[in-house]
Amino acid sequence: MTPPSAGPNAGDAHKTALAIDALRRGWPVAIEGADGTLALLPIETADPPRLAAFDPGASAPLLLSAGRSATLKLANQLEAAAPDAPVLVERAPWIDFAMATALADPQFDLDTPMKGPFRAIHLAETEAGAAALRLARIGGVLPAFFARAGESVALVLTPGDIDAHEDAARLTIATRAHLPVVGAEDAEIVAFRTPEMPGEHIALLIGEPDGRPPLVRLHSECLTGDMLGSLKCDCGPQLHAAIDAIAASGWGIVLYLRQEGRGIGLINKLRAYALQDQGFDTVDANTRLGFAVDSRNFAVAARMLELLGQSSVRLLTNNPQKVAQLEGAGINVVERVPHVLPANPHNERYLATKRDRTGHQF
């Protein structure tokens, strides 16, 4: 998981918001790191004319993740690398836009046999490369770019600008209101945002403070589970059981965090689901897409608790990382309360993978 950020910083969060917008529209951005600058065109959202304008000589290598590159048999050079570490792949003459798209998206690996051989080349601009993959994750696009070293484009940002965008210290309370919900008719909803973030985090305050640390649930957004009743995961039942448990305990808080897909966004999570349809588990699907298994940063939850005046909590979770990250961000977790719900035939393997591969305590 991403370590909590180091507090307020001098980066320009606004530039990152512009860069995310650019990525989603298929426009190039440049990232200036301490060891050099990369101009970057996102493969997923670009098209052949944009590629021709960005790279007239058709020579720009591809910036992919180590996780993705492993599938392309570049693993010998990448053994120690984290799945979300950057790798530069030589632009062989036969890698045209269509082939680059096939290289970017593992979903079509079974339909598009990878011819190769692919060759990893030295990436001097390591900071810019890592920041590019991080930006792709935050923007919800595939972590894959055409990259031109030492070049620039109109929009230039630094890794510090991305840190600023992600900095939980920028979060403030936007508004609050009474919200009766099933299981807690006296609840209050509190909405949080930063000037740049597209989705708002929400707190649901249940019951009356009674001097004890509140029972708290950190719930990461899951549109499929929360809204559609997906049986592939345990999110929907966990959300409603959390409201019931908090109401029964007297008082507490559900933090509804806009961290869809453990931080990779809805589209990339659904790409992971497509890989799961091919037989990969939740961990391997994320890795093959080029993301960390879990990209969430719970410093945002600590900041929300701080804004709500709570420094000690009882935490409803099976995930020791949530406890560790909250404590790392200054919240005293006085107790971990297990939050296990019955499995169904569709989520049995998902829950077993959580237990066996991601350290959940069941």
Binding residues for Zn(2+): 222, 233, 235
Angle, vertex CA 254, rays to CA 312 and CA 214, nearest 5:
30
Does 233 interact with Zn ion (rule: CB under 5 A)?
yes
Whole-angstrom distance, CA of residue 128 vs CA of residue 356: 34
> Minimum distance from CB of 224 to Zn ion (Å)?
6
Among 70, 138, 235, 255, binds ligand GTP (CB under 6 A): 235
Q: Where are the alpha helices (DSSP H) in the chain?
A: 13-25, 48-54, 66-71, 97-104, 126-139, 159-166, 223-226, 235-249, 260-263, 266-277, 282-289, 299-307, 320-328, 348-357
Whole-angstrom distance, CA of residue 5 vs CA of residue 235: 26
**Nearer Cβ to ligand GTP, position 89 or 285?**
285
Q: Which residue's structure tokens are 């062989």?
A: 92
Residues that bind ligand GTP (rule: CB under 6 A) add up to a total of 23
Does 263 interact with Zn ion (rule: CB under 5 A)?
no
10 Å CB burial of residue 204 (0-12, 13-18, 19+) is buried
C-alpha pair distances (Å), 268 with each of 272, 277, 351: 6, 14, 20
Does 225 interact with Zn ion (rule: CB under 5 A)?
yes
Whole-angstrom distance, CA of residue 112 vs CA of residue 134: 27
Angle, vertex CA 239, rays to CA 233 and CA 241, nearest 5:
105
Spatial strand order of the sheet with 172-178 comes to 172-178, 188-193, 201-207, 251-257, 215-220, 312-316, 332-337
Does 272 interact with ligand GTP (rule: CB under 6 A)?
yes
From 79-87, 89-97, 214-222, 294-302, give the range in contact with Zn ion by CB under 5 A.
214-222
Does 202 interact with ligand GTP (rule: CB under 6 A)?
no
Whole-angstrom distance, CA of residue 282 vs CA of residue 169: 31
Does 349 interact with ligand GTP (rule: CB under 6 A)?
no
Does 264 interact with Zn ion (rule: CB under 5 A)?
no
Catalytic residue among 294, 303, 355, 357: 294
> Minimum distance from CB of 190 to ligand GTP (Å)?
19
- State which H helix or E strand residue 146 sits in: strand 145-149
Q: Which residues pair with 145 in a beta bridge?
A: 42, 63
Note if 296 is an active site residue.
Answer: yes
Does 322 interact with ligand GTP (rule: CB under 6 A)?
yes
Select from Zn ion, ligand GTP, none the partner in contact with residue 319, using the beta carbon and a kind-dependent cut-off of 5 to 8 Å: ligand GTP
Residues that bind Zn ion (rule: CB under 5 A) add up to a total of 4
> Minimum distance from CB of 43 to ligand GTP (Å)?
20
Tell me the three state secondary structure of residue 307.
Answer: helix
> Minimum distance from CB of 119 to ligand GTP (Å)?
30
Note if 294 is an active site residue.
Answer: yes
- State which H helix or E strand residue 63 sits in: strand 62-65
Q: Which residues are annotated as a binding site?
A: 217-222, 233, 235, 238, 260-262, 282, 317, 322
**Nearer Cβ to Zn ion, position 215 or 235?**
235
Among 238, 287, 297, 325, binds ligand GTP (CB under 6 A): 238
**Nearer Cβ to ligand GTP, position 228 or 248?**
228
Does 319 interact with ligand GTP (rule: CB under 6 A)?
yes
Structure-block tokens of residue 139:
């923007």
From 1-9, 79-87, 130-138, 317-325, give the range in contact with ligand GTP by CB under 6 A.
317-325
Q: Which residues are annotated as a binding site for GTP?
A: 217-221, 238, 260-262, 282, 317, 322
Other residues' Cβ atoms within 10 Å of the Cβ of residue 59: 11
Does 260 interact with ligand GTP (rule: CB under 6 A)?
yes
Among 87, 203, 206, 233, binds ligand GTP (CB under 6 A): 233
Residues making contact with ligand GTP (CB under 6 A): 219-222, 233, 235, 238, 259-262, 264, 269, 272, 282, 286, 317-319, 322, 339, 354, 360
Residues making contact with Zn ion (CB under 5 A): 222, 225, 233, 235
